[in-house]
Amino acid sequence: MSKVLQGIRVLDFGRYIAGPYCATLLGDMGAEVIRIEKVDGSEDRFLSPVTEDGDGALFLQIARNKQSMTLNPMKPEGREIVKKLVATADVVVANLPPDTLRAMGLDYDSLCAVKPDIILTMISAFGQGGPYANRVGFDGLGQAMSGSMYLTGTPEQPVRAWAPFIDFGTASFSAFGTMAALFERSKTGKGQIVEGSLFNTGLTMMNGTLIEQHAIRRDRVASLNRAQTAAPADTFRTQDGWVLVQSIGGPLFKRWADLMGEDHWLEDPCFKDDISRGDNGHLISDRLARWCAERTSEEALAAMEEARLPAGPVLSPREVLEDPHIAAKGLFQATEYPGLDRPAPLMKTPVELSETPGEIRSRPPTLGEHTDRIMGELGYSTRQITALRKQRVI
């Protein structure tokens, strides 16, 4: 089966999530991805170690469909290798500071001097220009400075989401931009810079709330898990766990009132529309909390499913791995990796295409697993490769 990005070569100089997962998505769609990392392994390889050699869980997720090459681009010999790699590439992905990009020969001008139609996908905390351009940051900074963290948790305690959604959102937007740039290049023959940033992603996800604030000065504060623009929408304790209920719109509110067996909710002007229900959501949550407390999670969810109310259990990571829907759809691909006692459950490409789907074709690479082969393809002899390795260039 033909792959969307078959024949495209990507050099992945990314670190942690936003850059590497952008390259992962391109790899899932058929691109050849070469991960360039430090001679002793880059820091993101070793987060949350799960193997004998210390390779981490996050690395296993974002390094599938990649080849691994170790390289020190800060040495003259390393920069020469970078040039030879760039000459063979279509896309360079890097979430590194501008000064570091220049020092490594990965700034756009340097890349174009080698490959005029190259696409440089740059990812940073705040993007180029503006007073924050040189600041470094991770996912949490995007959550904190976009307003998201302020409205998560309680007024007394802002809470950062456990899942790094800003990082993964930035990776997804950057992959989208990269594919758009490749499409444009197929028409014009010209490359360009694709720029993503954690801040842009955070502002995108919070834009509706920011528009509301600008328009009517609502000055919202955190309300833990209870939504503020519709109800019922909250988490509720049952006799044996927690469930989340999320509804929007009059028809769903009527289904909920019918489930409670109480028509007065539909007659009270305090609950006449979504925003009114959100403003008075604590009353709706209090009623549903009493209802849930009298039932097990299974009983509560069965009743809500029968009423066609959107609801689901709050699952632990262990319970997620046992979820029957995941098994039925085959969402995880069991993937062997050296030093791992059991195959890792890698989440497949999150967007499903009917004709040209993404796929996990190869396991994550061990450190420098493909260095010798790639160097040989660039024209280096075995003797030269050995010498460069002794110099810790590769």
What are φ and ψ of residue 12, in 5° steps?
-105, 100
Q: What proportion of the chain, given as a percentage, has pLDDT over 90?
A: 94
Q: What is the pLDDT of residues 281-294, one digit of tens each?
A: 999 999 999 999 99
Q: What is the pTM of this model?
A: 0.94
Residue 119 backbone zone (phi > 0: left; psi -120 to 50: alpha; other: beta): beta
Q: What mean pLDDT comes out for the span 285-307?
A: 98
pLDDT of 388: 97
Q: What is the pLDDT of residues 86-131, one digit of tens each?
A: 999 999 999 887 888 888 899 999 999 999 999 999 999 999 888 9
Domains within the chain, CATH numbers bracketed: 9-205+328-390 (3.40.50.10540), 233-314 (3.30.1540.10)
Q: What is the pLDDT of residues 318-340, one digit of tens each?
A: 999 999 999 999 999 999 999 99
